[in-house]
Structure 1
Amino acid sequence: MAAIGTSPPGRSARLGLRATPDQEAVLRRAAEVSHKSLTDFILDTACLAAEQTLLDQRLFMVSGSQAQALMDLLESPEQVNQGLQDLFTRQAPWDAP
């Protein structure tokens, strides 16, 4: 852990933000009780939230029965879809004369 007020090696990008006095007070208090500098606390917390946001876009948690239902659908024979057949037989608008 870096000492308060110092920048660990490798940090070169600079970020800026504005906060209300109440937001600043909450962040400073949380950093204190976490034994982190304000910068480390904000970066750690923001990175955790960012990683979770990105994971939410890639990882879908389902129950065993839901996973099995999906596998059953994927393994079942294809079904005729008249709407898709009609769509793919039409000429694309950008190919029209």
Structure 2
Amino acid sequence: MDVGPVWAATMRPADPRGLHRSAVRLRQGSDPIMHSLLEALTIDRVYLQGEHSGALAGEQALRAAGVRVITVPGAGHNVMFDNPDAFAAAVAGQF
């Protein structure tokens, strides 16, 4: 993963043990998987991803379930830092 100085700065105050625990749990995943949970919700849903994050696995299934999938230009994993205006517009439903 290619991260920039802004992301690194956000991790500086984090407890390394907490980061490790989060990483281990994320790697283990959930049952059911997060995509299935998101697909099953009956509220308005949006999945934001950065343009530099690559292809989204399961995108077609998310869209078929009514999830709006928005790819934010010029952004990576930290969409809100990389392109804050587009992030705010997408969250407000204006993207």
Q: TM-score, normalised by structure 1?
A: 0.27
Task: Please tell me whether Structure 1 or Structure 2 has the larger radius of gyration of its CA atoms.
Answer: 1
More strand per residue: 2
Structure ranking higher on relative contact order (CA contacts 8 Å, 6+ apart) = 2
More helix per residue: 1
Q: TM-score, normalised by structure 2?
A: 0.28
